Amino acid sequence: MPDSRIEDAFIDGPAFIPFLSSGFPTPEDTPRLLKSLADAGADVIELGVPFSDPLADGPTIQASSWQALEQGVTVESVLDQLGEVAEDLPPVVIFSYLNPILRMGIEQFLERAQAVGAAGLLVTDLPVNSHPELENRLASGSLDLIPLTAPTTTNDRLETILGRASGFLYYISRLGVTGASEMLEPGLTDKVRELRQLVRLPVAVGFGISTPEQASAVAKVADGVVVGSALIAALKDSETSFVELASSLAEAIHSIA
């Protein structure tokens, strides 16, 4: 794997990693919203491909995916829209379930994703070593493959996961699905500190981070902070609310650097 643009995004301090559901509220909004996240201070952006059965996502992101699908959004259109603005963005990770990629064709997906400027790929429902042949095909391109790890991940399993990982390690801060939360999980600080001693990759924390205060607390121990549901909920309210929250989160995270 050549030098990673994604890993480079963590060099100057904790990274702000917002998630955007492609096609929400409308497909026409996506390029503009991506640029708004960049302007707000995003260091890496996760761009979600809508899927009809998003098992890892809570109700907020599920609803945004359904709205996008009802408007005809596909993995092909997601990549096309990224290509319109990628040169103005920080590194972008395509956040997808496996089925949309298989429907497009793995090699076709990789070729197109690389051509439009994507930097990484996170496949939520393809655990490491669950399907080695598919994983080898996905690893054949230049995209960083972002792995997920959870509070229940053992050190032996972590070693296996890291064998294929690049970009950063996405630590799921709690069991269950995505969604905003009023409180951070007990023991999160200790677990993230432990992970950072065990792995060479930056460790980013996501699931349940909703406010600048929470983001700041996580940024004190992690290399990056992922925020999704809270931003999508703000976007449902208004684009102004979305941009204001993104800017506040970026400021809180970057103040720790």
Locate 195 and state its tokens: 């992970």
| Catalytic residue status for 87 | no
The amino acid at residue 52 is: S
Q: Hey, how many other C-beta atoms are within 10 angstroms of the C-beta on 240? A: 10
Pick from 132, 191, 120, 125: which is nearest to 160 by CA? 132
Is 239 catalytic? The answer is no
Who contacts 11 (Cβ-Cβ below 8 Å, separation ≥6)? none
Instruction: Kindly tell me the number of DSSP H helices and DSSP E strands found in the chain.
Output: 12, 9
* CA-wise closest residue to 202 among 2, 5, 10: 10
Cα separations in angstroms, 11 against 130, 178, 184, 196, 251: 32, 27, 25, 15, 17
Question: Which of 57, 185, 190, 223 is labelled catalytic?
Answer: 57
Please tell me which residue in 7, 46, 144, 223 is annotated as part of the active site: 46
Catalytic residues: 46, 57
